[in-house]
Amino acid sequence: MKQAFSLLIKPSSADCNLRCTYCFYLKKSELYPESKIHRMSDEVLEKMISSYLSTDQPVYVFGWQGGEPTLMGLEFFEKVIALQQKYGKGKTVSNSLQTNGTLLDEPFAQFLARYNFLVGISLDGPPEVHNMYRTRVDGSHTHASVLQGIEHLEKNEVEFNVLTLVNQANVSKGREIYDYLCSQNINYQQYIPCVEFDQKGNLAPFAITGEQWGQCLCDVYDEWIKRDTNRVSIRTFDGIVNHMVNGSYAACHMAGNCCQYFVVEHNGDIYPCDFYVEEERRLGNLLQDSWADMQNADKYLEFGNRKAEWNQQCSQCEFLTYCAGDCPKHRSYNANEDSHLSWLCDGWKMFYQHSLPGFRKLAENYVRHNSVKSAPKLFVDRKFDRNGSCYCGSNKKYKKCHGAIG
């Protein structure tokens, strides 16, 4: 079997009901200027699902993202399930949905629960922090609407995690943000760094420095390690311990190659990564090109191999195994992406120097208490975007399948 791959799907392209100041994907609508509204057609949807489910995968991973994917409406996702049932009998299918949460209502939450969608909600902290950058088109605040969406998910027992983008509004408040999320009973958390530059190569005013990133991670870690290691799941932290226990990479920035998934735009155009949805990176279109041809394309393979073209200093770094030079996006400032150190390098070093002794103890305790000869999957019930749900033709319904893929 060839290298497995997943799909990150943009059914509404860059269209969104919000205008978050730091959003990097809004400008991708410039790739499709022929229309102001972008929606995936039934033809593209069926071809995508049928062709992907005909490939050989251990788990068929559909990640629905945007823009804002809930703009497609509930009827669209009902079609998704019907097509997955039609073409996926006997196969393990996973659906995740990343959303700003403001359009979720009771019927939508009931649907997500019925078919075991894993949901990611964007929430940057308490109102005064979240509302700094996450506003609607008219500038109005969104925090209350996000909490209402979360209430619908909790009421219907939908599995979800919160994604917090670490930006200038919250980067100095790591402890406060962590405590706030925990006070909201949000025990599955992701922290993502905001790194964006303008056309002149200057750091965007909402973006963060490496030192700020490192200090924020240290602050969150210090609160978590004291009391919450068995209660709160933080994706970056889980990924580090997973690697210590079984050598797997749960986060793409830790791996040595970027050939892991395909981005599917609303019209079927395929790209290698949502940070690189650019005309020159376009690999083809699923209506004309096969997954095998795109997976074997020189353009795709070269893109993936660029991950290992890290700075010479990285080869001597004691923390290389945890970042592999970091995401190429963070190395591409000032137009020299192949030789740059990651913009976040100093921060990652600060964090690893501070936290690795504690993570090693956690890993050692896990192995000791589980008496493993060959390390198993760690934290398989953690609510991140690799948990599975499967459609089984024998019982005609979806059911949880905790066969997580790393």
Asked if residues 309 and 338 have their Cβ atoms less than 8 Å apart, the reply is yes
Query: Phi/psi of residue 60, each to 5°?
Result: -95, 110
Catalytic positions, written as ranges = 274
Determine the 3-state secondary structure of 262 from DSSP.
strand
Residue of 72, 68, 69 lying closest to 17 (CA atoms): 68
Tokens of residue 277, six digits: 């949805």
Q: Which DSSP string do the residues of 376-398 spell out, in sequence order?
A: --SSTT--STT-EEEEETTTTEE
Residue of 64, 101, 121, 75 lying closest to 266 (CA atoms): 64
CA distance 370 to 365: 8
Q: Which DSSP string do the residues of 205-257 spell out, in sequence order?
A: TT---HHHHHHHHHHHHHHHHHH-TTT-EEHHHHHHHHHHHH----SGGGSS-
